[in-house]
Chains A and B, each alone.
Chain A
Amino acid sequence: MKTFDDYLRETQEIGRVESVLNTVIYLSGLPKAKLSEVVITETGKKGIVQSIDPELVEVILLESDLPVIGERVARTGENMKIQVSQNLLGRVVGPLMNTQDGLGPAMGEKESRPVFNKAPGIQERVKISEQLETGVAIVDYMIPLGKGQRELILGDQKTGRTTFLLQTIYNQAKKGTICIYVGIGKKKSDIKSIEDYLQKTGILGNCVIVFASSADPASLVYLAPYSAFTLAEYFRDLGKDVLIVLDDLTNHAKFYREISLLSKKMPARESYPGDIFHIHAKILERAGRIKYGSGSVSITALPVVETVQGDLTGYLPTNSMAMTDGHIFFDEAEFKKGRRPAVNTSLSVTRVGNQTQNMLEQKIRRALVEKLNLYRKAQELSHFGFDLPLKTRSDLNIGERLEAIFDQETYTVIPKDVALILVGLAFSDYWSSKNIEQVRVERTKLVEAFAKCAFESVVADLQKFEDVEALENYLGANREKIEQILYSRIQNTVV
Chain B
Amino acid sequence: MQLSREVIAKIYTTKELNDLLYQIAKIGESARTNLAEVNPGVPEVLKELGIEGNREPPEEDLAKKLKNLKDFLVKLPKARLEFAFEPNEEFIRKISRLLNVGRSDHLVLEITVKRDLLAGATIEFMGNFRDYSYASILDQVVKEKVKGAFS
Query: Are A and B physically bound partners?
Result: yes
A residues neighboring B (CB under 8 Å): 5, 8-9, 12-15, 28-31
Min CB–CB distance A76 → chain B (angstroms):
14
Interface pair B126/A12, CB less than 8 Å apart: no
Min CB–CB distance A16 → chain B (angstroms):
9
Is B34 an interface residue when CB atoms closer than 8 A count as contact? no
B residues neighboring A (CB under 8 Å): 124, 126-131, 136, 139
Interface pair A13/B136, CB less than 8 Å apart: no
Query: Which residue in B127, B130, B136, B139 is a CB contact (below 8 Å) of A30?
Result: B127
Interface pair A28/B127, CB less than 8 Å apart: yes
A225 to B136, CA, bound (A): 41
Query: Which residue in A5, A9, A31 is a CB contact (below 8 Å) of B128?
Result: A31
Cβ of B136: which chain A residues have Cβ within 8 Å of it?
9
Interface pair B128/A14, CB less than 8 Å apart: yes
A215 to B126, CA, bound (A): 37
Cβ of A28: which chain B residues have Cβ within 8 Å of it?
127
Cβ of A9: which chain B residues have Cβ within 8 Å of it?
131, 136
Interface pair A29/B131, CB less than 8 Å apart: no
Sorted nearest first, the 10 A-B pairs with minimum C-beta distance are A29-B127, A14-B129, A31-B127, A30-B127, A12-B129, A14-B124, A13-B127, A8-B129, A13-B129, A13-B128
Cβ of A8: which chain B residues have Cβ within 8 Å of it?
129, 131
Main SS at interface, chain B: strand
A29 to B125, CA, bound (A): 8
Main SS at interface, chain A: mixed
A30 to B129, CA, bound (A): 9
A12, A13, A14, A31: most-surrounded residue (chain B CB, <10 A): A14
Cβ of A29: which chain B residues have Cβ within 8 Å of it?
124, 126-127
A254 to B17, CA, bound (A): 45
Closest Cβ neighbor of A11 among chain B residues: B129
Question: 13 extra interchain contacts, Cβ-Cβ under 8 A, other than A12-B129, A14-B124?
Answer: A8-B131, A9-B131, A9-B136, A12-B128, A12-B130, A13-B128, A13-B129, A28-B127, A29-B124, A29-B127, A31-B126, A31-B127, A31-B128
Interface pair A14/B131, CB less than 8 Å apart: no
B124, B126, B129, B130: most-surrounded residue (chain A CB, <10 A): B129
Chosen A-B contacts, 24 in total, with CB atoms closer than 8 Å, are A5-B139, A8-B129, A8-B131, A9-B131, A9-B136, A12-B128, A12-B129, A12-B130, A13-B127, A13-B128, A13-B129, A14-B124, A14-B127, A14-B128, A14-B129, A15-B127, A28-B127, A29-B124, A29-B126, A29-B127, A30-B127, A31-B126, A31-B127, A31-B128
Cβ of A14: which chain B residues have Cβ within 8 Å of it?
124, 127-129
A42 to B105, CA, bound (A): 31
Cβ of B131: which chain A residues have Cβ within 8 Å of it?
8-9
A29 to B124, CA, bound (A): 9
Min CB–CB distance A170 → chain B (angstroms):
49
Cβ of A12: which chain B residues have Cβ within 8 Å of it?
128-130
A352 to B128, CA, bound (A): 53
Cβ of A30: which chain B residues have Cβ within 8 Å of it?
127
Min CB–CB distance B138 → chain A (angstroms):
13
A52 to B57, CA, bound (A): 44
Cβ of A13: which chain B residues have Cβ within 8 Å of it?
127-129
Cβ of B130: which chain A residues have Cβ within 8 Å of it?
12
A141 to B27, CA, bound (A): 83
B124, B127, B130, B139: most-surrounded residue (chain A CB, <10 A): B127
A29 to B77, CA, bound (A): 12
Cβ of A31: which chain B residues have Cβ within 8 Å of it?
126-128
A5 to B140, CA, bound (A): 11
